[in-house]
Structure 1
Amino acid sequence: MTEPGAPSDGRARLARYAGLVGAVLLTVAGWLGGALPDVPPTGPWLVRHGPWALGGWLVGTALLVGAWWALRRGVPSTRWAYLTAGLWLLPLLAAPPLSSRDVYSYACQGWSYAAGHDPYQAGVAAAGCPWLDSVAPMWRDTPAPYGPFFVLLAALAAILGGGLVGALVLLRLFALAGVLLAGLCLPGLARAAGVPTGRAAWLALACPLVGVHLVAGAHNDAVMLGLLLLGLLVLVRMPGRPGPLLVAGALLGLAVAVKATAVVVLPFAALAAVLGRYTWRALVRDGGWLAGGVLATLAATSALSGLGLGWIGGLARSGDSQQWTSPPTAVGFVVDYLGELTGRRPGAVPVTRAVALVLLAVLLVVLWWRAWTSLRRLNDVPQRVRRLAAARPRVALFGAGVALAATVALAPVFHPWYATWPLAVLAVSAVRTTWFVLPSAVAAFLTLPDGTTVARYGKAPGAIAMTVLVVALAGWTVRARRTRSS
């Protein structure tokens, strides 16, 4: 069945094979100048690898992004979207680690834990990881910021892999499993929210960030997203039932035990857990079962690993990197630049980051309250109309997606693969898509194949441009609110 907004056959065919060529070029660029284990992770990328790798990366990324963008409003069918996304992933499965060296950190953290060291107490250098030369220098002395469930997975990869290459293969397979799990959940979530399933699958799976960073880069965000979407699917399929709520809580707890970012989804997941009328009593009852599953899973993984909650302390070190791609950091840079004009350097970055985190906390509360009040208003809408509009699951899912988007925008650090968090949830719940698809398309160009960030080469101009964008968006938001209230 053809979906709304479906392109012509010729346009769809052109997009499919343009994207495939792009994926092949990125794979070649990866072997010419990717994050290879025998290449020192230091020095200017262009000097080491030359124009062929850079050209392949640039053209390949442009083809992938262009093909994905061209069909953002609709695809011929859901099956076509899955087949095309899978076709694009095939070459990238044969690529070396692309656009990041984080997978080497995962391998060393897993090795450290398997060797009896606590990865939350010291970095992999202190543990004596034999693969230390492949880890980016700034992360060699940093404690692991990931949850105990992922540490267990990393240790399993290090043990069964029998060496660095084997560990990398298994870590990529874990990431691929996360992407496949997310793909299985997308149609059910999209149908529950009244969103075209083909469009949802296309936006969430064919996005270049997924192939390059989640699969080729083997980022653990893929595992988190797979567990997160499965937990949400259980909620929207079987709300209000203690057994499924505990299962959903366990899945969401595992997602948090991979990356703590998933915690911002939990309040909105509690909204999706409610069956029947939205009352405080129903929220406490059904949300309590969900919370029980989350807490039990976190306690179990912490006890099983023997690491407790030490990973929470490691989160503080994740902000050691300072790049203008994070809006709060960019604003801090600009404040420092202005201070230098008067002969002072205020050191504003920690301050702007702290203000952003406070703003994020307030914004998350506001988003949840708006979702709650919207659902309360549905209490007076006939059940038949509610089912037709798919309003209940859409409100909860969309709230979760916007909360993730706010978390990405206001976090102290931004990496391109962070954009996949809100992308996956908004793909199954948002009506308008350009506002979150466009940043994901831009983010695909921010890292070179070896993990070098493009932001490194334009700190001042990038910080100023980002600050101007923040001010413009803030002004537009204030003006829009005044227009609606007048």
Structure 2
Amino acid sequence: MAFPVDLRRCQALGLAGTAFLALGGETAGALPVRDLLAPAGARAALGLVGVYFGVVLLIAAWVLLGRLVRSADAPTPRELLLVLAVWAAPLLLAPPLFSRDVYSYLAQGAMVDAHMDVYAHGPDQLGGPLADEVAPLWQHTGAPYGPVFLAVASALSGLTRGELPAGLVGMRLVALLGVALMAAALPRLARHSGADPAAALWLGALNPLVLLHLVAGAHNDAIMLGLLGVGLVAALGRWPVLGAVLVTLAALVKAPAVLGLAAVVVLQVRAGRRPAKAVLSTAAAAAATTVAATALAGTGYGWIGALDTPVSPHNWALTSLLGRATGAMLEHIGSDLAPFALPAWHLLGLAITALVIAAIWWRLRPRPVYALGLSLAAVAAFGPAIRPWYALWGLFLIAAAAPTTSVRHRVAAVTGVLALATLPSGGPVDSGQLMLAVSGGALAVVVLWQVHQAAHAPALGETA
């Protein structure tokens, strides 16, 4: 028998999930350095159990909400936006979760504010409390982000005067703005693509990865995707130049969004504009935006060289895994080619990405939003680095333009796996933490099963 579903039950279950996430994060999250040793071992362990208890509750609420979206009594987009706000509320003042990247953002913003070359130097050159919060791996690495995001981070640094709590809240508000832009763009993109706006919001905005990594993790991917989404909406209407400007601004946050310019061109051609004119106007708008944004940010063009910022040596991207395996095999047989294995696989990954993207656009030119979503998914899949939130690059637009329900189901299944893939501290996994995480998730499954049984138990005095 099916679990009973209604909007209020989904809303309450998801709220319970994010509340446990926020509470568990107080001792198990990506805490400031001064707090890392403060929680007692038992409290930190309990926090980790609580976080994964909350993650499983959130996933369950999202799956049930998906069933409701597909039912005859489907909620409206406005009702879904209210659910998103309710689910996100407990995470607003929670510590950073699942990554320490937000500390890097704050340190890089402080460097720009201090007129330091953020592309030539890592946060170690800044020194002080903010630099101490950056993960050791990135202490000596230049910023891999574009001038638009660094200008935002610099402005935030000036407003908060380098104070960590205020900076964390400010960076989360920036991420929330990005999520709001995503949620605003999805229904319009879905209608253009012939998809259900409510289903698009469910998969693209209420997705657990959005709440875990864009809201709780405060990743700048949120503002990149938000600008990309509203840029495509502008290009759908009568403002293709504005669309090109907004998409370029998204790319000047994180580079993968530059693929959105192809969608802007195709949308103009489909609206009756000559291809040559569409390409020239889009290129001119993108070039002017790039020059103006870089000049206003004052960071120079070091962001171009930062596109090849080194990745973690233990990154689990497909090409990195194959590169390390190949290098180990060559080293075992004594070959001098072992050091070249990883770069060679990374180059092969880029070549495969280019071929896949070309094939996607050749086949799906009439569906530019969907083609762009698949292209961004290919960039994440075959690139030299991968993180769970990178899946949102393609997922956001696939949610808006997926041609069938089965595509959404497959994407949702990937979401469920990736939502469980990262520790709330953002650090490496050890066996003890893995057991605690599994325990928290298993406890949530037991509780959900008991609720299910209670909901279908015969009332007192009735026969079974």
Structures share a fold, TM > 0.5?
yes
Q: Distance in 1 between matches of 2:156 and 2:289?
A: 22
What pairs with 1:462-481 in structure 2 (closer than 5 Å)? Answer: none
Q: How does 1:302-313 map to 2 (within 5 A)?
A: 302-313=294-305
CA shift in 2, pair 1:236/1:306, >3 Å: same
CA contact (8 A) 1:446 1:454 kept: no
SS at match of 1:202: helix
**Is 1:442–2:417 an aligned residue pair?**
yes
Q: How far apart are residue 343 of structure 1 and its match?
A: 6.4
Alignment of 1:283-432 (within 5 A): 283-324=275-316, 326-336=317-327, 338-339=329-330, 342=333, 346-347=338-339, 348-372=341-365, 375=366, 395-431=367-403, 432=407
| Gap runs ≥5 in structure 2 | 434-464
Deviation sequence 1:197-225 (CA, Å, 0-9, x none)? 11111111111111121112111111111
Note if contact 2:176-2:215 (Cα within 8 Å) is conserved in structure 1: yes
| Matched letter for residue 425 of structure 1 | L
Correspondences of 1:215-234 after superposition (within 5 Å)? 215-234=215-234
- The answer to whether the Cα contact below 8 Å between 1:323 and 1:456 also exists between their aligned partners in 2 is no
TM-fit CA distance, 1:172: 1.1
Question: Residue 462 of structure 1 aligns with which residue?
Answer: none
1:357 deviates by 0.8
Partner residue, 2:9 = 14
Q: Which residue number corresponds to residue 458 of structure 2?
A: none
SS in 2 for 1:413: coil
Count of aligned pairs: 422
Residue 40 of structure 1 contacts residue 134 of structure 1 at CA under 8 Å; is this kept in 2?
no
Residue of structure 1 in register with 2:436 after alignment: none
Pair 1:206-2:185 in alignment: no
Aligned to 1:55: 49
**Cα distance in 1, alignment partners of residues 286 and 42 from structure 2:** 47
Going from structure 1 to structure 2, the CA distance change for 1:456 and 1:100 (only over 3 Å counts) comes to farther
User: Deviation string for 1:229-253 (max 9, x for gaps)?
Assistant: 0000011123xxxxx1211111011
Identity among equivalent positions (%) equals 37
User: What per-residue deviation string (whole Å, max 9, x for no partner) do you get for residues 73-128 of structure 1?
Assistant: 55222233212121110001121111111111111111011111010111111133
Partner of 2:421, secondary structure, is coil
Match of 2:63 among 45, 65, 69: 69
Give yes or no for contact 1:178–1:223 (8 Å, CA) kept in 2. yes
Taking structure 1 as reference, are residues 8 and 31 closer, same or farther at Cα in structure 2, changes over 3 Å only? closer
Hey, what's the Cα distance between the residues in 2 that align with 1:235 and 1:47? 53
| Residue 433 (1) aligns with residue 379 (2) | no
**1:9–1:86: structure 2 CA closer, same or farther, 3 Å change rule?**
farther
More displaced stretch, 402-411 vs 14-23: 14-23
Q: Deviations over 1:308-334 (max 9, x none)?
A: 32012222224234322x111122233
The superposition leaves residues 255-296 of structure 1 with CA deviations (integer Å, 9 ceiling, x where unpaired) of 01111110122212211122445xxx8122123222222211
Cα-Cα RMSD: 2.7
- Greater mean alpha carbon deviation, residues 301-310 or residues 151-160: 301-310
CA distance in 2, matches of 1:299, 1:74: 47
Q: For 2:212 and 2:221, locate their aligned partners in 1 and report how far apart those are by CA, in whole Å.
A: 12
The Cα shift of 1:35 comes to: 1.2
CA distance in structure 2 between the partners assigned to 1:315 and 1:298 by the alignment: 15
Asked if the contact 1:46/1:54 (under 8 Å) is kept, the reply is: no
* 2:220 alignment partner AA: N
Separation in 1, partners of 2:368, 2:431: 38
One-letter amino acid of the counterpart of residue 49, structure 2: G
Contact persistence 1:423–1:437 (CA under 8 A): no
Match of 2:178 in 1: 178
Q: State the distance in 2 between where 1:307 and 1:261 align.
A: 20
**C-alpha contact 2:25 2:97 (8 A) present in aligned 1:** yes
Matching residue of 2:445: none
Normalised to the residue count of structure 1, the TM-score between the two structures is: 0.81
- The two structures have a TM-score, normalised by structure 2, of 0.84
Cα distance in 2, alignment partners of residues 366 and 455 from structure 1: 41
Q: Give the Cα–Cα distance (whole angstroms) in 1 for the partners of residues 61 and 428 of structure 2.
A: 23
Cα distance in 1, alignment partners of residues 123 and 212 from structure 2: 25
Work out the CA distance in 2 between the residues paired with 1:89 and 1:421: 20
Q: CA deviation at 1:367?
A: 1.6
1:29–1:57 contact (8 Å) kept in structure 2: yes
**Alignment partners' CA distance in 2, 1:342 and 1:28:** 51
Deviation at 1:165, TM superposition (A): 1.6
Alignment of 1:126 onto 2:118: no
Say which SS state the counterpart of residue 174 (structure 2) adopts: helix
**Structure 1 residue 140: deviation in Å?**
1.0
Correspondence for 1:197: 197
CA distance in structure 2 between the partners assigned to 1:450 and 1:144 by the alignment: 22
The residue identity in structure 2 corresponding to 1:122 is H
Change in 2 beyond 3 A, CA 1:248/1:425: same
Query: What do residues 13-50 of structure 1 show as CA deviations (whole Å, max 9, x unaligned)?
Result: 433322211101110111112112134779xx996964
Cα contact 1:228–1:255 (8 A) shared by 2: yes
In the TM superposition, what is the alpha-carbon distance from 1:8 to its structure 2 partner?
Answer: 9.1
Cα distance in 1 for residues equivalent to 2:177 and 2:166: 16
1:426 is displaced (CA, Å) by: 0.7
Q: Closer, same or farther in 2 for the Cα pair 1:455/1:149, shift >3 Å?
A: farther
Any conservation in 1 of the 2:244–2:264 contact (CA below 8 Å)? Answer: no
Q: Shift of residue 335 of structure 1?
A: 3.0
